[in-house]
Structure 1
Amino acid sequence: MKITRIETFRVPPRWLFCRVETDEGIVGWGEPVVEGRADTVRTAVAELAEYLVGLDPRHIEDHWQVMTRGTFYRGGPVLSSAVAGIDQALWDIRGQALGIPVYDLIGGAVRDRARVYCWVGGDEPAEIADAVNAQVEAGFTAVKMNATGLTGRLGGAADIAAAHARVATAREVLGPGRDVAVDLHGRLGPAGARRLLAALEELHPLFAEEPVTPEHTRLLEPLVRSTTVPIATGERLYSRWDFLPALTAGIAVAQPDPSHAGGISELRRIAALAETFDVQLAPHCPLGPIALAASLQVAFATPNFLIQEQSIGIHYNDGAELLDYVVDPEVFRFTDGHVARPTGPGLGITIDENAVRRADAAAGAPWRSPLWRHPDGSFAEW
């Protein structure tokens, strides 16, 4: 079997899909994207394709090593995401060729269903209540929300009080039997995060995500020691080497992204490394159907898996939804806050290629991350 062609498609709302074709008619799909930098990653995929076309797609580990280490300059979100999408597609091909799901190729299933959570939005407590109640009625047992909007690095009294009020509202709707996770997005500095976590402890969040930005991972350890709230991080860490300082700092939940952290190959290695620290895996995945399918394949083969993010209905999805690009949306049916183990070969989904090609042909301006500024005009973390 040989790779004959690698194509990419930029599709709404902010995703990039990768199609890897073989001379035996088997096609694998991946999702290589950095949100807001889809065209940059697209170029990186094209560069990697120069090496891959003509080679056997089944040599997944060798290809991963060459793609990540075959040049003098390595790592970073763009290259890691380009590799991730191609890696997903190669695993998809391998599974299809053998007629088995990817999770059977990486150790076999350890569970029958995986817990999932959804995002809720709204800055006012009343909006949070309505949004959380809607997800409870839909059967979800866990939600995630932003802790703050635009805020100063130290977290003023008003900011802390407002964040507490929003999370308290969510907790009131959820009750003690369901969970709320809180995303700090690195918007506060370590001192501000410490203040906020102290205020939130009584509400028992499932975890607090990204209390510091990734360049400040070295500051996680004292923050972990200062709170009983489980600390999660990892969406902007791209390899097991990036994760090691966070794991040694004492985080409770690792959140690698299947489309940023080197694909299925590296995601499962990060999961195994996390297991040696008794850390749970909750893959980051506010992306499309291919990324979610790839992430779930790892989740079903990972003993220390905790919960899976998914983007159906997320506020970023303007102009398209995750299910718009799959032939059979039943694969992603959520029941009682869980998704059943997929049984199809490869990634377990069938991409609607016609829908993808139409979306790419009609794609407008690429999505860009918002730019926030403080009242004095200086840059603010989004």
Structure 2
Amino acid sequence: MRVTALETFPVPPRWLFVRVATDEGIVGWGEPVVEGRAHTVAAAVEELSELLLGRDPLAVEDHWQVMTKAGFYRGGPVLSSAVAGIDQALWDIAGKSYGVPVYRLLGGPVRERVRVYQWIGGDEPSEVAEAAAEQVEAGFTAVKMNGSGRLRHIDTPAEVEAVVDRVAAVREAIGWQRDVAVDFHGRFSTAMARRVLPKLEPLLPLFAEEPVLPEHTVRAGEVAAATSVPVALGERLFSRWDFREVLGSGIAVAQPDLSHAGGISEVRRIAALAEAHDVTVAPHCPLGPIALAASLQIAFCTPNFLIQEQSGGIHYNVDSDLLDYLVDPTPFRFERGRARAPQGPGLGIEVDEAAVRRAAERGHRWRPPVWRDEDGAFVEW
């Protein structure tokens, strides 16, 4: 079997898919994207295709090594995301070739169901309690919310208390048998994180996500030591070497993204490294159906897995949503907030290629917002 073609498809709302074809008719799908830089990543995929055309797609590990290292310059979000999507597609081909889900090629399942959580609220969180109650009614046992809107480096006591009040409202709405995770989204400085997190301790969040920016992960240990709230980070780390620097710092949850951190091959290794540091794994995935399918393959075969993010109904999904590019949505029908192990070969989903091609004709130019403070200075989104 040989690789014959790689095609990329920018599809709404903000995703990029890759289709890898073979001379035996087996097709693999992946999701290589940097949100807001989809066309840049598509160019990287096109360049990497030169390393794959005419070669055996089942040599997945060799392809990963060559794609990540043969260009001399390594790493970073664009290259790692391009590799990630291609890697997903190659594993999809491998599973289809052998007639089994990818997780069976990775050692088999270690659980029967995977817990997932539902996003509530948007970039400027409000009325989150009502939204949380709706998700409890829908069967979810965990929700995630943004902790704040835009913040200054050290903001006012009123802003601190507003964060606490919103989380308290959600805790009251969902009770103590369910979980709320709080996403700091890199909006908090280290000083603000250390000020706010201890105030959230009585509310027992499942975790506090990205309380420090990736360029400040050297200070993650300070934040973790200042609170009993489990600290989670990793959506903007792209390799096991990036994670190596923080896994021993006291964080509780690693959040590699299957579409950014080198795909199934590398996230499998990141999870094993995290296990050696007593750190659990909650793959980051506010993306499309292929990224989620890849994430679930990892979730079902990873002993130290915690919970899975998914983007159904998330505030980013305008005009298209998680199930719009699937022939059969069954793999993503969650029962009581849990996903069952996919039984289909490869990634366990069937992509609606006709729908993808139609959507790609429209494409997208999604960009993250640029936020500014009252004085006109840039602040983190």
Q: 2:297 corresponds to which letter in structure 1?
A: Q
Show the 5 A alignment for 1:187-266: 187-266=187-266
| Structure 2 portions without partners, runs of 5+ | none
Q: Residue 154 of structure 2 contacts residue 189 of structure 2 at CA under 8 Å; is this kept in 1?
A: yes
CA drift at 1:155? 3.0
What SS does the corresponding residue of 1:54 show, helix, strand or coil? coil
Tell me the distance in 1 between the aligned counterparts of 2:188 and 2:154: 6
Q: Residue 155 of structure 1 contacts residue 195 of structure 1 at CA under 8 Å; is this kept in 2?
A: no
Q: 1:106 corresponds to which letter in structure 2?
A: L
1:75-130 Cα distance to aligned partner (Å, 9 max, x none): 000000000000000000000000000000011100000000011005565x1121
What SS does the corresponding residue of 1:313 show, helix, strand or coil? coil
Query: Where does residue 284 of structure 2 map in the other structure?
Result: 284
Tell me the distance in 2 between the aligned counterparts of 1:189 and 1:298: 32
| Structure 1 portions without partners, runs of 5+ | none
Q: 2:273 corresponds to which letter in structure 1?
A: L
State the TM-score, normalizing by the size of structure 1.
0.98
1:178-220 Cα distance to aligned partner (Å, 9 max, x none): 0000000111111111111011111100000000000100011
CA drift at 1:362? 1.7
Query: Where does residue 330 of structure 1 map in the other structure?
Result: 330
Tell me the distance in 2 between the aligned counterparts of 1:317 and 1:362: 15
CA drift at 1:304? 0.3
Tell me the distance in 2 between the aligned counterparts of 1:17 and 1:257: 15
Greater CA drift, 80-89 or 239-248:
239-248
CA distance change for structure 1 residues 325 and 124 in 2, over 3 Å: closer, same or farther? Answer: closer
1:20 equivalent to 2:11? Answer no
Tell me the distance in 2 between the aligned counterparts of 1:152 and 1:27: 48
Query: Where does residue 182 of structure 2 map in the other structure?
Result: 182
Q: 1:169 corresponds to which letter in structure 2?
A: A
Percentage of pairs with the same residue:
66
Query: Where does residue 379 of structure 2 map in the other structure?
Result: 380
CA RMSD across the alignment: 0.8
1:316-364 Cα distance to aligned partner (Å, 9 max, x none): 000101100001101100111101010010000000000000000122x
What SS does the corresponding residue of 2:29 show, helix, strand or coil? strand
Tell me the distance in 1 between the aligned counterparts of 2:125 and 2:118: 18
Tell me the distance in 2 between the aligned counterparts of 1:348 and 1:242: 29
Query: Where does residue 65 of structure 1 map in the other structure?
Result: 65
Tell me the distance in 1 between the aligned counterparts of 2:80 and 2:213: 18
Tell me the distance in 2 between the aligned counterparts of 1:63 and 1:219: 35
Query: Where does residue 317 of structure 2 map in the other structure?
Result: 317
Tell me the distance in 2 between the aligned counterparts of 1:44 and 1:337: 36
Q: Residue 32 of structure 2 contacts residue 260 of structure 2 at CA under 8 Å; is this kept in 1?
A: yes
1:49 equivalent to 2:11? Answer no
1:245-276 Cα distance to aligned partner (Å, 9 max, x none): 11011110000000000000001000000000
What SS does the corresponding residue of 1:150 show, helix, strand or coil? coil
State the TM-score, normalizing by the size of structure 2.
0.99
CA distance change for structure 1 residues 265 and 227 in 2, over 3 Å: closer, same or farther? Answer: same
Number of aligned residues: 380
Tell me the distance in 2 between the aligned counterparts of 1:351 and 1:229: 39
What SS does the corresponding residue of 1:217 show, helix, strand or coil? helix
* Shift >2 Å, 4+ stretches: 122-125
Q: Residue 32 of structure 1 contacts residue 260 of structure 1 at CA under 8 Å; is this kept in 2?
A: yes
